[in-house]
Amino acid sequence: MTNTPAAPAPFSRIKIRAGALVFCGDEVALIRRDRAGSTHYTPPGGNVEDGEDLCRALGRELAEELGLDTAKAEGGDLMWVIDQRVSRPGPTPPPRKLHLVYRFHIGADVRATLAEQELDELPDGSHEVGVIEWIDYRETAGLPIFPPIGPALAALADPRAAITDAALDAVTDANYTWV
């Protein structure tokens, strides 16, 4: 008789996602993903790898997804932390995920050098194409953004406004349905 380890319980594993709102004036870069039956947006970023430094992970993700060298950007301050505990389809129990959302500012000269699309590798080796869209931050409240930061983003007085509370509401099955 062999002992098969039990599958981890939902949300018993924790992953960290480092992402960023990259502003050029009043516009912010978001990745639009069009899927069968849905469209959603996400800030550029991705999961922090085991043992990886947060700043290094953020820099790596922004280079991979936007072609942005963070040394050419201003800022890098942490804006928001979002605790995600949302069920999702698939064979593995969902992890709890902490989304760390940072903020950078760039000029038009740097923006002109950035990617217009992002290729996200899927488990089968194919790629999902994401389109980089620059959207006036004040128009994000009603967009399907994940994590759901649109209302907080649109409520900023300006792109450089001070953040008084970095903890946004947790995303749970009670207030979010997986798309």
Residue 110 clears pLDDT 70, i.e. is over it: yes
The phi and psi torsions of 65 (rounded to 5 degrees) equal -90, -35
Residue 149 lies in a domain: yes
Are the beta carbons of 18 and 56 closer than 8 angstroms? no
Number of domains in the chain: 1
In a domain, 3, yes or no: no
Predicted local confidence at residue 179, as pLDDT: 65
Question: Any idea what the CATH number is for the domain that residue 86 is in?
Answer: 3.90.79.10
8 domain-assigned: no
Helix (H) or strand (E) holding 64: helix 54-66
Q: Is residue 127 part of a domain?
A: yes
- The pLDDT score that the predictor gives to residue 4 is 64
Residue 176 counted as domain residue: no
pLDDT higher than threshold 90 for residue 100:
yes
Query: 37-82 pLDDT, tens per residue?
Result: 889 999 999 999 999 999 999 999 999 999 999 999 999 999 999 9
Name the band, by pLDDT with cuts 50, 70 and 90, for residue 29: very high
What distance lies between CA 164 and its chain's CA centroid? Answer: 21
Q: What is the radius of gyration, based on Cα positions, of the chain?
A: 17
Query: Confidence class of residue 5 from pLDDT cuts 50, 70 and 90?
Result: low
Q: What is the pLDDT of residue 2?
A: 60
pLDDT tens for 132-166 read 999 999 999 999 999 999 999 999 999 999 999 99
Range of the domain at 148: 14-165
Residue 7 lies in a domain: no
Task: Identify the DSSP state of 111.
Answer: H
Whether 157 maps to a domain, the answer reads yes
Nearest to 66 by CA among 13, 131, 16: 131
- The residue to which tokens 């085991």 are assigned: 50
pTM above 0.85, yes or no: yes
* Domain presence at residue 170: no
Query: Is pLDDT of 11 > 90?
Result: no
